[in-house]
Amino acid sequence: MRVLLVEDDNLIGDGIKTGLEKNGFTVDWFDNGADGEEALYTAPYAAVILDLGLPEVDGLTILKHWRSNKMKVPVLILTALNDVDSKILGLNIGADDYLGKPFSLKEIIARINALIRRNSGYVSSEIKYRNIVFNCDTKQVFLDNKPIVLAPKEVALVELLLLNKNRVLSKNVIEEKLYSWDDEVSSNAVEVHIHHIRKKLGKDIVRTVNKIGYVMED
Domain boundary assignment for the chain: 2-119, 126-215
pLDDT of residue 83: 75
Q: Residue 138, Cβ neighbours under 10 Å: how many?
A: 11
Q: What are phi and psi of 30, to 5 degrees?
A: -125, 140
pLDDT of residue 166: 95
CATH superfamily of 2-119: Response regulator (3.40.50.2300)
Report the 3 state secondary structure along 127-191. Answer: EEECCEEEECCCCEEEECCEEECCCHHHHHHHHHHHHCCCCCECHHHHHHHHCCCCCCCCCCHHH
pTM over 0.85: yes
Distance from C-alpha of 156 to C-alpha of 197, rounded to nearest angstrom: 11
Residues of the chain with pLDDT under 50: none
CATH architecture of 126-215: Orthogonal Bundle (1.10)
* pLDDT tens digits, one per residue of 63-104: 999 999 999 999 999 987 667 888 888 899 999 999 988 899
pLDDT of residue 185: 85
| 41 DSSP 8-state letter | T
| Crossing angle for the helix pair 171-178 and 189-201, to the nearest 10 degrees | 90
Distance from C-alpha of 105 to C-alpha of 110, rounded to nearest angstrom: 9
pLDDT of residue 12: 95
pLDDT of residue 101: 86
pLDDT of residue 81: 62
Distance from C-alpha of 106 to C-alpha of 116, rounded to nearest angstrom: 16
Dihedral of alpha carbons 36, 37, 43, 45, sign = positive
